[in-house]
Amino acid sequence: AQSVTQLGSHVSVSEGALVLLRCNYSSSVPPYLFWYVQYPNQGLQLLLKYTTGATLVKGINGFEAEFKKSETSFHLTKPSAHMSDAAEYFCAVSGGSDSWGKFQFGAGTQVVVTP
């Protein structure tokens, strides 16, 4: 069975500071990993995903994430926070033994950006 743990349900960052959102997963098979963003009263939008190949993945809006198999992690970063980054962020994993795309989502991390 797969599972996802997001450390910290709320993160507050200053505008211009580094954004770091932590995601650890458990999976018995090589995982596919995703980060989604949810702005208030909207659906989820894909930020980036890791399937195979390069372990550093770049996404939209200046975000990137690194797949570290030895640490079972897929942390999301952005060098400089912008006010528009205030949203909820979800990490998800798929790729179970039946190899179809059923997702397991983390509980989410709410990001607040302060001026």
Partner 1 sequence: NAGVTQTPKFRILKIGQSMTLQCTQDMNHNYMYWYRQDPGMGLKLIYYSVGAGITDKGEVPNGYNVSRSTTEDFPLRLELAAPSQTSVYFCASSYLGRGGDEQYFGPGTRLTVT
Which residues bind to partner 1, rule: CB under 8 A? 4, 9, 32, 34, 36, 41-46, 49, 51-52, 90, 94-96, 99-103, 105-108
Instruction: Specify the residue for token string 């952005």.
Output: 78
Complex with partner 1: residue 56 or 115, whichever CB lies closer: 56
- Unique residue bearing structure tokens 């580094």: 18
8-state DSSP, 16: T
* Cβ closest to partner 1, residue 46 vs residue 112: 46
| Least spacing, CB of residue 12 vs partner 1, in Å | 17
* Integer CA distances (angstroms), 11 to 2, 18, 30, 69, 79, in order: 25, 11, 29, 25, 15
Least Å distance, CB 87 to partner 1, is 14
Shortest Cβ 20–partner 1 spacing (Å): 19
Tell me the pairing of strands 10-14 and 109-114. Answer: parallel
